[in-house]
Amino acid sequence: MKRLLKLFSIVGVALLLLTVTGITGVIADKLKFYFEVARLYSKEPDRRIAMPLEEVSKRQIADTWGAPRGTDRRHQGQDIFAPRGTPVFSATSGFVYNIGENSLGGQTVSVIGAGGRLYYYAHLDRYAPGLQEGDRVTTSTVLGYVGTTGNAQGTPPHLHFGIYTASGAIDPLPLLTDRTTPRVTNAAPRRTPNRLRI
């Protein structure tokens, strides 16, 4: 009986230790995140940001900033059209601030960047696998894929891209710069798969 009690107490202490270290780990992560976000706030906002879609040039964006949407709303962003499933890259470095669904934006990701600006990516078909709030991102990070969720249902697939500052939304178009993806001019010869002939 005594032995059994001892075993129980050992297991109990072990479980308690696991829980406490787990919780402090979470708190430490949260503190680190807030510290990093505070550091971002103190930085100057990015003056140039990368096009979220690799193959789309800035010239291809029809400027719809401020265009009326219904009777009581104006377009607070730019729409970037591309086939469904096109990867959406972060336009800036920063941290994933929010991953969530709303009626207008559908599936959305918000990234907080330098100067505390929020970069908003909406109508996503799906999120990048494993992406979580608090993740550090760079301009090479895929956030999700172009789609038609939210009020984009029934329209050609596009990314709604918005930028929010402390004083409200600003037009992303003047800040956007094309991605300079080097075009492959001398494509490597196609390798034959190393496969057993059967």
**Where on the chain is the footprint of Zn ion (CB under 5 A)?**
79, 160
Q: Which is nearer to Zn ion, 22 or 66 (CB)?
A: 66
Least Cβ distance, residue 162 to Zn ion (angstroms): 8
Q: Which is nearer to Zn ion, 117 or 160 (CB)?
A: 160
- Residue 163 CA to residue 177 CA, distance in Å, equals 15
The position carrying tokens 């496969």 is 195
Residue closest to Zn ion (Cβ): 160
Residue type for 103, please? S
> Residue 36 in contact with residue 28, Cβ under 8 Å?
no
Q: Which is nearer to Zn ion, 63 or 133 (CB)?
A: 63
Least Cβ distance, residue 163 to Zn ion (angstroms): 12
**Distances from the Cα of 15 to the Cα of 8, 20, 22, 64, angstroms:** 10, 9, 10, 57
How many of the other CB atoms lie within 10 Å of CB of 89? 22
Q: Which is nearer to Zn ion, 64 or 139 (CB)?
A: 64
Least Cβ distance, residue 137 to Zn ion (angstroms): 21
Least Cβ distance, residue 42 to Zn ion (angstroms): 31
